[in-house]
Amino acid sequence: MSRPPLEVADVVRQHGAAFLARYGPTLSGEQHRALRAIALCRTAALGGHITQCDHCGHEEQAYNSCRHRSCPKCHGAAQAAWLTAREQELLETAYCHVIFTLPHDLGSLALQNPRSLYGLLFRTVAQTLQDIAGDPKHLGAEIGGFAVLHTWGQQLHHHPHLHCVLPAGGLSADGARWVPCRPHFFLPVRVLSRRFRRLYLAGLEQLYGQGQLSLTGRCRALAEPAHWQQLLATLRDKDWVVYAQEPLQDPQHVLKYLARYTHRVAISNHRLVALEDGQVTFRYKDYQRGHRLRTLTLEAVEFARVPQDAPLWLPGQSGTPGETRAVPRAAGTREGTPGPRSGHGPQDA
């Protein structure tokens, strides 16, 4: 793939100082390091190396990469290795792709408490899928799979959602046989949605009661029990979005889609169109209008917030945006998580 004429690093280099002047005090040390790494990647500041052809002796000089988890230019090899490992784990059966989305009302709370709320998302989704799949009224089997957390959408809005990839069936209670789902249906989406909502809100109330949530800025009012209960009432009245495709005979394209985000920041360099007059224009897919490609323009300083609010920071830690997580071990796979049929439309990246 040819090098794009415009990169996220160009935005950071030109507008990073303005971004730090506005938002610097709110950033963590890891976020500061990510910005610096993106700006310096493949520049003289990181040194360089020379590659030589074994046959003709031709030499080329290149600057070193930063290798930061959030850099759009790095980790191509790690991404390929992740994809290969997942492909080797596939069973000879159809697979389901299921997406659980947190309501928009929890956005500010999630940004202040990513470890707590995203960790709770993984746990409650796993429990939801296992509970409903284990019910003899539905599948009556133990299921498994894996989940990947995304915290952004195509338009770079904060949009936390969990992608689950799982075999379309599971092991019987005695572990002696495979229990396949129906050809075009796995688990009822509405039942999944309601169980997901109930479990997540119960966990959220527990975190609040134990004083484990940061409640400052936009969330300051939630420190008052009356406001907190009002938020919970609003969330209970909503239909929580769970989207699921029909079982797929070939899950590779889903794995390739997820692989693009497991080792990258929220937007690739190839989606950038222009950086002019302090504004960034980029392409996105409009899922509400037939996946058409459209463009969106943001103030450069606001665009720079994307790697801060919806990145792949802190790999391997609980509740981290972009993290890949095994949901409890089960279903004949090496890792555990689970799935259903079409319900609500996807609103993700």
Residue 5, C-beta contacts closer than 8 angstroms, at least 6 positions apart = none
Q: What is the dihedral of CA 152, 154, 156, 158, to 10 degrees?
A: -30
How many whole angstroms separate alpha carbon 196 and alpha carbon 222? Answer: 22
In contact, 13 and 39? CB cutoff 8 Å: yes
pLDDT tens track of the chain, all 349 residues?
567 889 999 999 999 999 999 888 878 888 888 889 999 999 889 899 998 888 898 988 888 988 887 788 887 777 888 888 888 888 889 999 999 999 999 999 998 999 999 999 999 999 999 999 999 999 999 999 889 898 887 777 888 999 999 999 999 989 999 999 988 889 999 999 999 999 999 999 999 999 999 999 889 999 999 999 999 999 999 999 999 988 888 888 888 878 776 766 678 888 899 999 999 999 988 877 877 889 999 999 988 876 443 332 222 223 333 344 444 333 332 233 333 333 334 344 3
Whole-structure pTM value: 0.78
- With tokens 């794995």, the residue in question is 255
Percentages helix, strand, coil for the chain, rounded to the nearest 5? 40, 20, 40
Residue 141, C-beta contacts closer than 8 angstroms, at least 6 positions apart = 133, 134, 169, 170, 171, 172, 173, 179, 331
CA distances (Å), 325 to each of 178, 288, 346, in order? 24, 29, 21
